Amino acid sequence: MAETAAPILGELEPETREKVLKRGNSRLFGTNELVFSEGDRAEFLPIVLSGRVKMVRFPEAGKEVIIGMFGPGEIFAIPPALDGKRFPATAVAAEESRLLLLPRQVFLDLMSSSETFSAMIMQRMCGLLRERTDTVQILATPSAEQRIANVLLKLAGEIGDNETKKITHRRQDIAEMAGLTLESTIRSIRKLADRGYFRIIQGKIHLDSTRSLRNFVRS
């Protein structure tokens, strides 16, 4: 099936890739469908084949904070899958998504038997730790506009010369990643655009460079 072409699987040697695909449970999730809930026992390792999945926490009633957003080829929730304890957050399909749910014991066997698989998982864990540090930094920033700027920098990544990065995330997604209300997020984005930090074209944010935004969050 087409979803098995996810980049993360292409990094594996054929034998290991075949085992992952054969032993994993491919499942389609509808928009806003739960993949797992905070407190559930981690019995599988989730790999996104298509679509997008968000990891969320609910610090208070009615407030949702996105602590991670994962697209095709990305692996997440690695620590609980390793130690078999409970998921520390809730995972929800942000759009129709297909995931490969790799049973925990298969995951552990592969960690022991495949150096390529183990190295890939360790590299991904390092990335998740960096992302978690970015999230803490965003939520610790008192200024709404600086929170939004930090989220946009995280989403944009590196931008090359003569390149424009289009942010496709919804305003609601950005609000939840920044720990802000939708109304505050919309106001802050409008203010930042008016100051020339980025352009808004047909409702989407376009960044030609991250330099000015980085200077802004450091100010």
Considering the domain architecture, whether residues 150 and 79 belong to the same structural domain is answered as no
Sequence-distant (≥ 6) Cβ neighbours of residue 170 within 8 angstroms: none
Domain end position, chosen among 138, 167, 186: 138
pTM: 0.68
pLDDT of residue 43: 96
**CA-to-CA distance for 92 and 66, rounded, in angstroms?**
10
202: CATH: 1.10.10.10
Q: Which pLDDT value is given to residue 6?
A: 58
Domain that holds residue 173: 141-218
111 shares its domain with 100:
yes
Q: Measured between alpha carbons, how far is 106 from 24 in angstroms, rounded to an integer?
A: 8
Q: 125 with 78: CB under 8 angstroms?
A: yes
**Residue written as token pair 């010369």:** 161
126 & 210 share domain: no
Assess contact for 213 and 219: CB atoms under 8 A: no
Report the chain (219 residues): mean pLDDT per 10 consecutive residues. Answer: 52 83 93 96 95 87 81 91 93 95 95 90 82 72 89 86 89 88 94 95 93 88
Two tokens at 100?
């490969």
Number of domains present in the structure of the chain: 2
C-alpha 113/C-alpha 122 separation (Å) is 14
